Amino acid sequence: MGTKLGIFPQNTKEIFQILNIISNSELRSKILTLENTQIHLVFCSLNRIFAVKMAGLYIHIPFCKSRCVYCGFYSTTGLELRERYVDALCREMEIRGERNDIETIYLGGGTPSQLSIEQLQRLFIYINKVKEDAEITIEMNPDDVTAEFAAELQQLGVNRVSMGAQTFNDERLRFLHRRHSAKQVHQAVETLRQAGFKNISIDLMYGFPEETLDDWKADIEEALSLDVEHISTYCLMYEEGTPLYQLLEQGKVSEVDEELERQMYYTLKDRLEAAGYEHYEISNFARPGFRSRHNSSYWQGIPYIGIGAAAHSYDINTRSWNIADIRQYITGIEQGQRLYESETLDEVTRYNDTVTVALRTCEGLDLSKLTSKQRTYCLANAKRHIDAGLLKHIGNHLSLTKEGLFVSDMIMSDLIFV
């Protein structure tokens, strides 16, 4: 029962729906005699007793040896802060002891492989209540993968590695200021396999300045030759504030045109599907049984807790984010204070979130999860996209077609409340 009680009832109908799953009839009839505010308090208590399902634990490790030109993530090259930061992460986990059965752990960055194995071991002592079959992922840079490190990660229980390969063209890797070569990606996968990793994901990028469709096809083939379980792909983005954006502003590089980008996306989709990968989310492909469980939870709107500077947390009713400043984060935690901001999610925000994350997946949006007013609004706005072949409406599900995937942002913005 307890897993659904994180949703506070918004109206009488929802109260009845939740009461239906409470088997004790005396308790049920007592709740029905209460005022609204009292009902809210009762559900607060029930949430604590039965515990909101907590699927994911995200730990942000914001250290990088050097910065890549395109990167807009929060990270720092201040490696001397690693010891204090790991202490702060452990302390934050203590302070926020609200975790339940953890089904997935994701160490993301930055570059988590910039921590020593001792530092990671220290972190894992504080991660408790982990389910036996949990998916435990670490992001690694190929040049950090050694046989010793990989074996020690296995000992810690890490069972999935996500590696930023980006491209197999060394010239482009240098342009991006990546520290590894294409050869090192192959070596890293081999090393991880020898250490026993059976679930490896790589990130790939396309849409580089001057890149041709043939260049991209060659990258896809080289990625396939690695025979990894999961591939995430991104078009190169020019984010404001990054050195790459400056190059664009100065006219030193130019974006690929939209038609080429479209061809690259469809080439990727067709080739990976032909090779047996399932295109299960706009940017993600997996061998059967190897979808990212952690990221899938995000797309299903399941609660997660984020630990560390700039990490986000979500518990159905609120979203919060830790301060994106490593020094202030550490100082705050050292003083027993988590510095963060939060927002309460009202019905409109929850609807918008549901639409934008669910449409990213191949299953699409489950219309039965919407109120009748939301469903009517959603389908009215979806109509012209359904007619244009960009969305498909089958049964209770609304999902993007192959043509719709490429223009998903435009479609989503039409379906949300503004």
Site residues (vs ligand SF4, CB under 6 A)? 64, 67-68, 71, 73, 75, 109-111, 141, 164
Least spacing, CB of residue 245 vs ligand SF4, in Å: 14
Helix axes 408-415, 372-387, angle to 10 degrees: 140
Q: Is 70 or 285 the residue whose CB approaches ligand SF4 more closely?
A: 70
Q: Is 119 or 361 the residue whose CB approaches ligand SF4 more closely?
A: 119
Q: Is 119 or 141 the residue whose CB approaches ligand SF4 more closely?
A: 141
Q: Which of 323, 204, 328, 334 is nearest to 269 (CA)?
A: 204
Q: Is 139 or 229 the residue whose CB approaches ligand SF4 more closely?
A: 139
Least spacing, CB of residue 153 vs ligand SF4, in Å: 18
DSSP state of 255: P
Least spacing, CB of residue 70 vs ligand SF4, in Å: 7
Q: Is 67 or 327 the residue whose CB approaches ligand SF4 more closely?
A: 67
Q: Which of 61, 171, 72 is nearest to 120 (CA)?
A: 61
Least spacing, CB of residue 64 vs ligand SF4, in Å: 3
CB within 8 Å of 358: residues ≥ 6 apart:
299, 300, 301, 364, 365, 366
CA distance 343 to 230: 33
CB atoms within 10 A of CB 179: 17
Least spacing, CB of residue 205 vs ligand SF4, in Å: 10
Residues pairing with 137 in the sheet = 106, 160
**Which three-class secondary structure state does DSSP give residue 65?**
coil
Q: Is 116 or 356 the residue whose CB approaches ligand SF4 more closely?
A: 116
Element (H, E) at 348: helix 347-358
The residue nearest ligand SF4 at its CB is: 71
Least spacing, CB of residue 207 vs ligand SF4, in Å: 16
Q: Is 73 or 321 the residue whose CB approaches ligand SF4 more closely?
A: 73
Least spacing, CB of residue 371 vs ligand SF4, in Å: 39
CB within 8 Å of 3: residues ≥ 6 apart:
50, 52, 53
